[in-house]
Amino acid sequence: MPGKSQQQGSRWLWLLNHCRALLLALSLSCLASAASGGSGERLVIGIYENPPKVYRDQHQRPAGLFVELIEAIAERQGWSLEFQDCEWSDCLQALEAGVIDLMPDVAATDERRGRFAFHQVPVAQAWSQLYRPAQLDLLALDDLRGLRISVLRGSV
């Protein structure tokens, strides 16, 4: 019988396979309008480790749902892409400074809408996951009281 992590991986694969066509159809024109480039434009994309959405695969190639989406848009628009590695918060700063042109997977907030252009149709819904030592039972929010919690710097 497959282990728990294999089952979770299989669920992700099923979800991605069944949603990919719909997400591409809904998002191609939306993301294309968020980028300012035209045919022949070279776009620099910030890439960081956040599988299954954006990451580098075992051969160090850009991969993930958002990478596939951006590559499909680039092919239709005639863009060439350059992927620049950075930590998520550094990517966000590079986007604001104009060092990179596009960054996948940024949650829209009122403050960020004032600084960046966002597409109107989300590619995927945000989720959160809690990782803990196996011996630590967490059944309610109060179980976190007094514990240290780490989060992604700059995340909402």
Q: What is the CATH number of the domain that holds 90?
A: 3.40.190.10
Calculate the CA dihedral of residues 79, 80, 86, 88 and round it to 10 degrees. 20
For 1-33, the pLDDT digits (tens) are 445 444 444 455 544 444 444 444 444 444 544
- Report CA-CA distances (Å) from 27 to 56, 68, 106, 113: 22, 12, 15, 18
The model's confidence at residue 126, banded by pLDDT at 50, 70 and 90, is low
Q: What letters, b where the CB count within 10 A reaches 16 and e where it falls short, cover 101-118?
A: bbbbbbeeeeeeeeebee
Contact 70/41 with Cβ under 8 angstroms? Answer: no
pLDDT confidence of residue 38: 53
Report in angstroms the alpha-carbon separations of 118 from 41, 43, 102.
19, 16, 10
Task: Identify whether 85 is part of a domain.
Answer: yes
Count of domains observed in the chain: 1
| 51 in a structural domain | yes
